[in-house]
Amino acid sequence: MPHPHSKAVHCINPDCPRPYPQTWGNNFCQSCGGPLRLKNRYVPLERLGVGGFAAIYTVWDAETQTDRVLKVLLETAPKALKLFEQEAWVLALLRHAGVPRVEADGYFHVQMQNFAGGDGNAGARRLPCLVMEKIHGKTLEEVLEEHPQGCPQEWVFSWLSQAVEILEELHRCQIIHRDIKPSNLMLRNPQSPQTLLAKGLGGLQLVTIDFGGVKKMGGGEPMGKDSPSSTRLISAGYSPPEQIIGGGVGPATDFYALGRTCIHLLTGKYPADIEDPMTGELRWRHISPIAPAFANLLDDMVRSDVQRRPASAGEVRGRLRQIYAKSNGKIALAKPSNRIAPAGQAILEFCRQILVAGTQKTASLTVLVFGAIAQMVVASLDTGWEMVLGGIGGSAGAIGGLVLGYASPMGQEVASFVNEGLHQLIPNMTFAVGPEVLLFAFAGLGTAVGLTDAGSFRQQKQYWLSAMMGTQGYLLASLCWLESSASSGVQGIILGAFAIASLTVGMGLRSHQLVHALVVAVCSTVVFLFLNALSIFPGSLLGILAPSYPVIGWLQVWGAIAFFGLLGSAIGLCLGVSHYLVVPLLRWLGWK
């Protein structure tokens, strides 16, 4: 017999190129050849959605002439299959009006053809299927959308009472739901509109759905601790702390989620939005004033400490009966004499919010101040260490260059070789190179190695690259300075700054290399010009840059060592300024 309202059929093959619509009465899909009549009984009508690892369909049960829900597992991982089979086992085991009913043969597999390979050869694919009772009605999440200011406490009290009965049945079977929340609780539509008018939503039967995350208590696993293979399930705002960290779960886990769900229903506020930032407890009583005993029960259900929550569904049911009895058969609001007047309560809540806000601001400011101090200390230590090793490297390199350049015949030989090469490249060269080339070369090598060995500013220690770049950078700087001294121009100073920047490029800095190079070049040039203006630059103090000084005295020796040590320290300082001031400023301005 066809469906009274639907004339089309939906193919459940996830690889079908055209799953809908299929003609009613066909036993096989016209697009992929998959079966359209499952177990010779169930006919898929429409897809309701895809959630998690499964697709949900409405199916027509030709045997009972009713609509049912079909859940098809799409994920092929063994863990997903295990959870799916576990859900089928739980639903088939439970026989409660608050749980969707599943027949004993409601779990089965359907053979499909898989065309996803694209090679023209269809591969077999078995789809696990679960057929269950279709609940006609709204979820409590949909009810919340219709009542954004919260639901009456009489409704929530009724829903809580029914939910506890359902959980009591689950816990009796050693099963923990683990995912209680408004979207997983449904209200079954009444048989007649008169029932809804007489009782309201609070009188409708509550049904718990989505048993895909259930966990069996015990089951060979040590209680109080999840097994390594246990799947961690978290619903933000509802899951208790022990579930979030992967600890042991028990009945109190479901009570916590149910308590938060009820508070959400009463207030219309998402639980995470009304948490106290200092304690994590919910601050909600001023939003929805209800019977104090009822509020106390909900607060006990959502305690962070598992030991302070109700231990069993029987305990919760007992307290609900007491609350109902004391209200003479109805849930009444607290008497004015037993609670603070609304105006006074509003004042207290305002003061509390000011206190909490002030505490938060003070804590944030304290963290900011101590963070800034710590950052300054780290920056000073990093920069200081870079300056020390840069200065030591520059001085050590200068000593090596002085020894080879002025205390051995190598200096004149290298100078002659360099002059011949330069005259061939630059016929009109106005200056001559002396032994100072070895001084500059070794000073650059030592400076680069010292700065690299410091390892500050997240450098990659590439000694060979930094040594090569430092050597050639200082050599080029010496030639540029000689040219500028001979021609009395600024062109050589600019080229010298560019040469010094090349040393920075080889430092192995992880980001913003060009920015660092520019800052170091500019700052180093300023140091050169400043020393020259004070007549303490080697060209005037040491006399080692002129070819008429093949031999230098002790004053020039110590001056050269001090100068290159100072220059290495200056470069380390410039790197610190660039890394901790210039680059963060550029990032703050939006340049990544």
- The whole-angstrom separation of Cα 531 and Cα 545 is 15
Burial class of residue 546, CB neighbours in 10 A (0-12, 13-18, 19+): middle
Q: Which two three-digit tokens encode residue 333?
A: 């609001």
User: Catalytic: 273?
Assistant: no
Measured distance between the N- and C-terminal CA atoms of the chain, rounded to whole angstroms: 67
* Helix or strand (DSSP H, E) at 259: helix 251-267
- The whole-angstrom separation of Cα 293 and Cα 282 is 17
Handedness of CA 165, 166, 170, 173 (dihedral sign): positive
Residues pairing with 9 in the sheet: 22
- The whole-angstrom separation of Cα 443 and Cα 431 is 21
- The whole-angstrom separation of Cα 258 and Cα 165 is 12
- The whole-angstrom separation of Cα 195 and Cα 159 is 16
DSSP state of 581: I
Residues pairing with 167 in the sheet: none
As separate numbers, helices (DSSP H) first and strands (DSSP E) second, the chain gives 17, 12
For residue 448, give the nearest of 527, 505, 383, 493 by alpha carbon.
Answer: 505
Q: How far is CA 45 from CA 28, 131, 428, in A?
A: 14, 13, 92
- For residues 141 and 148, the answer to whether their CB atoms sit within 8 Å is no
Q: How far is CA 586 from CA 87, 175, 285, 512, 592, in A?
A: 55, 57, 48, 10, 7
- For residues 144 and 265, the answer to whether their CB atoms sit within 8 Å is yes
CA dihedral 446, 449, 455, 461 (to 10 degrees): 170
Catalytic residue, candidates 61, 119, 179, 276: 179
Burial class of residue 517, CB neighbours in 10 A (0-12, 13-18, 19+): buried
For residue 313, give the nearest of 184, 181, 165 by alpha carbon.
Answer: 165
Cα 550-555-558 angle, rounded to 5 deg: 100
* Helix or strand (DSSP H, E) at 44: strand 42-51
Catalytic residues: 179
